Each structure stands twice: as structure tokens, then as C-alpha cells.
């Protein structure tokens, strides 16, 4: 799925860039667009979240089945210099992961098939603060890299739920901190600026909520569980 995201992003960027590079049209659209101190916009996108596990003991890996999710958000952009912008991009990110355990985790414990998988639905309210570093504008496009830090509130975390995996409830922490890095291209047309981008996000804090039983087969062998993901965003300003 991550390869599909990358290929899709590269196809969009390369096709549009080729059209801009080899077009005979040299008139710059929205030539003064980037000179505004403040500008606004919105984005729509796709996301693909995963978990990275670290373990107490050398057992078989916990597998994560990922799904493509949906993202939507707003953009406020502050121009610092010709090639540097500060951006705040709050958004809503909806996704689902299935966490799958090997039967070896239940050695000596009676279990059924439903115990081997936990469905983890997440609804993140995402608050990223990012620096955007752009190259010089070429005709009607301008490549950039973007990165920064973010925090998120997971509305579906179930952190405060007293039930745990013993009754089928997989719990995660409500607050998550991330760092992000990515790249994209600004394309200028006569009416607005369109910016496809791809970005990697990586959690900095452990997200798993341990079960009450210290020997729980679902949480006892997990040292840390951290989100990592890929965003494919389509921005309109």
C-alpha cells in the first residue's frame, strides 16, 4: 500500500511537472500569489497508518494490516522569506489498523480465533506546525520540502475505558506527538495554487495502554508501540 501511495504521488507530480516544463507557455499565473504575508487554503488527502513495535522478548512479530484512510484539513501560511514559510495545518484523519498476533503469544493459555486480532479504529485531530522550504519558481511550478512537529488527539483511543483486551478492547493513548517530513510541488494556474505532496509521519511516544493483567498476551511483550504513516495530500490555496 505504501508503494501504491508513492507511485501515485510520483505519477501526479511527474505528469504535471512535465506539462509545465515542456509547455511553450511562459506567462506566469498568479505571479504575486506568494508575496502575501498570510494566505489560506484547505487540503484533501489519503493516509496509511502503521504501528512499529519493540518487544521485551524475541517472539514472532505482531503484524499490522493497514487500510487507506481519509484526511481533510485547513491551511494557514505565513511567509517568512522568498523561500521559507511557516504553516499550520490542522486536520481530521480517519483510519483503521488491524493488529494480528501469532498463536505463540498464547502459549499455555486457552484462546479462540477472535483473540488473535484486534481492530483499531483511529480518528485523529491533527495539529502540525511545519516549515516549508521552496526552490526558486520555475515557470508555473515550484518544488518544496516540508517538515516539522505535530500533536494529535485520538478521539477513538479508548484510553479511559476500564475494559481491556480480556474483553476484546484494545486501548491506545489519546495524545500523540509526531515529527513529519515530506516533499511536494506547487503548481500555479490562473485561479489558485494546487500542491500535491507526500509526507512521512513518525510518533515519538509510546501509544499502547497496558492491560490490567501484567502477563497479558496482548501487551506484556510490547516495550513500545508507535504510529508511523504516509500522507498523500492535495492542497488548494
What does the pLDDT look like over 156-166, one tens digit per residue? 998 999 999 99
- With contact defined as beta carbons under 8 Å apart, do 87 and 77 qualify? yes
Percentage of the residues of the chain whose pLDDT score is greater than 90 = 75
Q: Where are the alpha helices (DSSP H) in the chain?
A: 2-22
Distance CA 62, CA 119 (A): 13
Query: Which cell goes with 8?
Result: 501515485
Q: What is the DSSP string of 89-115?
A: --EEEEEEEEEE--GGGGTTS---GGG
What does the pLDDT look like over 32-81, one tens digit per residue? 888 889 999 999 999 999 999 999 988 899 999 999 999 999 999 999 99
Q: How far is CA 181 from CA 62, 141, 150, 198, 214, in A?
A: 26, 20, 11, 9, 36
Q: What is the pLDDT of residue 108?
A: 83
Spell out the domain ranges in the chain. Answer: 2-236
Query: Which cell goes with 109?
Result: 493459555
Whether pLDDT at 115 is above 60: yes
Whether pLDDT at 100 is above 70: yes
Q: Which residue has the higher pLDDT, 34 or 221?
A: 221
Give, for 74, the enclosing helix (H) or strand (E): strand 68-81
Distance CA 62, CA 88 (A): 35
- With contact defined as beta carbons under 8 Å apart, do 224 and 62 qualify? no
For residue 41, what are the β-bridge partners? 75
Torsion, Cα 205 209 210 216, to 10 degrees, reads -110
Whether pLDDT at 24 is above 60: no
Q: What is the pLDDT of residue 6?
A: 47
Q: What is the pLDDT of residue 199?
A: 96
Q: What is the pLDDT of residue 13?
A: 46
**According to the CATH classification, is domain 2-236 in 2.40.160.20?**
yes
Amino acid at each position: 500500500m505504501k508503494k501504491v501511495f508513492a507511485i501515485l504521488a510520483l505519477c501526479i507530480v511527474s505528469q504535471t511537472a512535465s506539462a509545465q516544463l515542456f509547455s511553450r507557455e511562459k506567462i506566469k499565473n498568479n505571479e504575486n500569489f506568494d508575496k502575501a504575508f498570510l494566505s489560506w487554503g484547505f487540503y484533501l488527502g489519503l493516509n496509511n497508518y502503521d504501528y512499529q513495535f519493540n518487544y521485551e522478548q524475541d517472539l514472532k512479530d505482531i503484524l499490522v494490516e493497514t487500510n487507506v484512510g481519509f484526511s481533510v484539513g485547513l491551511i494557514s501560511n505565513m511567509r517568512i522569506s522568498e523561500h521559507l514559510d511557516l504553516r499550520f495545518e490542522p486536520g481530521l484523519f480517519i483510519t483503521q489498523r488491524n493488529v494480528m498476533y501469532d498463536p505463540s503469544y498464547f502459549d499455555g493459555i486457552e484462546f479462540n480465533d477472535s483473540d488473535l486480532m484486534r481492530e483499531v479504529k483511529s480518528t485523529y485531530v491533527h495539529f502540525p506546525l511545519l516549515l516549508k522550504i521552496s526552490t526558486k519558481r520555475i515557470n508555473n511550478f515550484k518544488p518544496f520540502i516540508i517538515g516539522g512537529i505535530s500533536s494529535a488527539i485520538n478521539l477513538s483511543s479508548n484510553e479511559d475505558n476500564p475494559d481491556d483486551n480480556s474483553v476484546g478492547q484494545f486501548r491506545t493513548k489519546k495524545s500523540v506527538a509526531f515529527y513529519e517530513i515530506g516533499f511536494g510541488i506547487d503548481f500555479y494556474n490562473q485561479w489558485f495554487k494546487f500542491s500535491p505532496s507526500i509526507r512521512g509521519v513518525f510518533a515519538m511516544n509510546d501509544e499502547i495502554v497496558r492491560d490490567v493483567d501484567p502477563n497479558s498476551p496482548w501487551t506484556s511483550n510490547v516495550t513500545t508501540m508507535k504510529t508511523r504513516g504516509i500522507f498523500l495530500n492535495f492542497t488548494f490555496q
